[in-house]
Each structure stands twice: as structure tokens, then as C-alpha cells.
Structure 1
Amino acid sequence: MLFDTHMHLNAWQFKEDREDAIQRAWDAGVKYMVVVGFDHETIPLAIEIAEQNEHIYAAVGWHPVDAIDMTEKELTWIEELSEHPKVVALGEMGLDYHWDKSPKDVQKEVFRKQIRLAKKLDMPIIIHNREATEDIIQILKEEDAQSVGGIMHCYNDSVQYVQACLDMNFYISLGGPVTFKNAPLPKEVAKEVPLDRLLIETDAPYLAPHPNRGKRNEPAYVRLVAEKIAELRETSLEEIAQQTTENALRLFRISSKE
């Protein structure tokens, strides 16, 4: 029983075969999924997909790349949607210094506003981090994000930052890159993270794991991520599947929703 904690079946890449992709995930042993919405188009569809599928849940937030487009209206909208029974987290939110659409100061302010909203609502947050680790950790500390905790989504940084994340009540989530032959960092992290703080994800349709790298990713492939982590930790797929699923159910408080 696997849990894909972060995917985007609401992306245009799944427009033609979304239901088939969901069925392939069920067939691969993926019982639970969280579909993440992050802008005007993907947030409503994330909730719609969650409403239509018993074991699919939604997260809603505003992506840092588009921070410049977020106003108080969007923040209020996200707050209203958070009351939906299938919404289990806020995000993805954070900082992205790779793209230059939104200035860093704007990204930081939007990030802080969403953390404060999560604290108001007592909901975990999903962190998007690209080339901004130290600033993200600083903001999480300054905003006392530890009180709600959450996920370091698709963690792809060095082991040295893992403990800081764990100390702030965050889980470490690994995706396709842990299977890449030329990606040593996530492999090191996979071996070091305490098993009770580890999550798995696909980030579908992006970052497909080996041997599907370069192709469209989909939730069924989270099994490949779990298999690689089991190999790296010298344990069984069953143990990784069971523990990461238990971790996700606990974080998202899903047992109380079923």
C-alpha cells in the first residue's frame, strides 16, 4: 500500500487519460494520493479530482514562481477552499530562485502570508524549494512554522540541511531523482532520514524515475521510488511502503477523515 504524497493529475499532461492514470496507480498498489493545486487553473481541478476519488486528497496553495500574481483575494480564496473536507494541506508554497518571474522579496512575502494562514487554520504546509534552502529555513524559523510542520517536497539538497528540517517538524519527501544514476544527494538523504519522517512522491508529470526518466511521470511510478529507497536502506519494499504510508496518513490526519 503506497502513498503518492505529491502529484499533479490536474496538469494538462493528463487531460486525455487522467482516469486511466488513476487506475494504473491503483493497480500498482498506490492506495492514497494528494493532488496539488498551485494557481487559478490547477486549484479547482485538484479539488474536483479529490471529490471524484475516495482516496485522493487535495492541497491548495500558491506557487512561488507566480507569487507576483497573488493578491489578498487569492489568499482569501485559498482560506475558503481549505475548509473543504478533502483538502489536507496548504501548498505548494516556498521560494524558487531558478526562475525570475517573481522578485525574491515578493516571493518571501507571499510565502510568509501562506505560513501565517496555515498556522491560523492549523494545517500542514508543502514546501517548494529551488535554489533557496537557507532563505526557506530562515523564514520557516522566523514564522514558527514548526507549530504546523509539513513536507519538504521533492527534497534534493544535501544531508546537512535535513536535521534543521526535522527539528522544525517537517517530513522529508523523495521522488524520482533518488533513482537517477547521476544524483548522489537524494540517495544519501534516503539512507539518513529517520524512517518515521520519510515520505515518497512522484511530482507527476515531472521528474519520472528511472527507467522512465525523460518521459511523462505518473503516480503509479511512486512504486519505483519506494523500491529504490528500500534498496538503498537494505530493507524491504513492504517496510518502506508501510512506514511512508503511515507517516503520510498521520501528517495529513487522514484516518480521521475516512
Structure 2
Amino acid sequence: MEQQTVDRNELDAYLAQALNIARFRDYCPNGLQVEGCARIASIVTGVTASLALVEAAVAAGADALLVHHGYFWRGEDARIVGVKHRRISKLLQHELNLFAYHLPLDMHPELGNNAQLAARLGLQAEARFGEDDIGWLGRAGAGINTVGDLARLVEAALGRAPQVIGDPLQPLGRIGWCTGAAQNYLSDAIAAGAGAYLSGEISEPTVHLAREAGVAYLACGHHATERYGVQALGEHLAQRFGITHQFIDIPNPV
């Protein structure tokens, strides 16, 4: 059977609508960032468009690479030199399209990072908090009663032990979560009534705020918490357009 393809611009337009990218004031352009071949039969997804991921996508024979962390971030050096040149020249050399979606992928109610992390941890969402309702608030499933229970669940689901600030024996109430570098939303989670907060990264002030507020903080890894939105989105595109999809994980300890 002949492999199905989708037009690059049709895919770009579909993703813009499906992820509602016009809604967001983001730190980077969302959508097609580097133009490649006109028709796409195979897509690779990954967290960050590092050179290692670009090379892996080329080796896999992909026509498009879809990531959460792409290029052209606000405030970065605009010149195409050094590392940026090596990445982009590899994309152009192989006519590999690069699509990137940052906040729109974090916040999508079904395919987004927060939604997909909740699904893997069995968290039941009840409310939102923070700027543009970026954070999620809810409760753990049956059998997850303490901070220690939640930490063990995270380790089993994500394959890495979280860094925990707080008493493992502390009973769980409502849980706030926001993937990636969302430690600055801890105050919003506390104001929303969270007794524990789960994110990707942790900063020095986060420790003191969590301790003084009596709220447990679980730093579960920026990369580890944001592996699932792109996978869900890639599978969605494969089903809708009949193209092939492969997720490639480039491990990152952060």
C-alpha cells in the first residue's frame, strides 16, 4: 500500500488551529520554524531540537521533526553561527521540516504535557491556576495517600526519582502540577490550595518557600515531565493523516 503524505503547509495550518497557537504570548515562534520538503510521509517527535535529535531524525528517514523546544527564543543571539548553524544547516541539508510548539503544547487539554503527565500518574484534574491557567490542580488516585507515595509513583512512571522537599509521610491533599521549568508557579499553586506541587525543575528560593508554606515540592525533571505531549501529538497526526510517527528520546538529566 502506498505511503500517505500530507502537505507541509496543510500540516502547519492544522497544528496552528488544533493547538490554538494565536492565543499565546510565547517566548518563541510556534509552528513551522525551518522549512523542508513540501510533502511529509514520516514524522519524528522529541523534546528538544538538539543536534543529536536532528541527526537521529535524519537517520530515521523523517520528513519532519516536531519538538516542544525549538529555536529562535526571545533574547537569544539572532545570528546563525556556531551550534545554531550546525543544527540548522543539518535540517536544510536534508530538507527536514522543523515544527515546534512551546506553551500551546504545555496547555492543550488532551494532548498537552500537563494532561499527558496527569494521565501517566493517574492524577484527576479539578481546576487550573497561574497565568493563563497554565497550572493544573487535582488529586491523586486510590492508594496514593502521602508525599512518599506520590514520589514513588513518579519514579515508577518517569524512570527517575524526584527531588523531594517535604516530609514523605505528609498526607496528600490537593496536588498542583506544571511540567518543565515551572517552579515560579509554586506561589500560585499554594494560593489555589495545593498541599503538594509537582514540576520539572527547582530553584534555590523554591526550597525556602515550600518549607515555610508547609507544601511538599517534587522536582521531577524538566525533560522527564515533558516527554509525553509530543508523543501524543505525533500519534494524533499519524492517525489523522496516515503518516508514520516515531518518538526519539535524547536523555537529559535536567
Same fold, TM-score > 0.5, yes or no: no
* Bigger Rg, structure 1 or 2: 2
Q: Is the helix fraction higher in 1 or 2?
A: 1
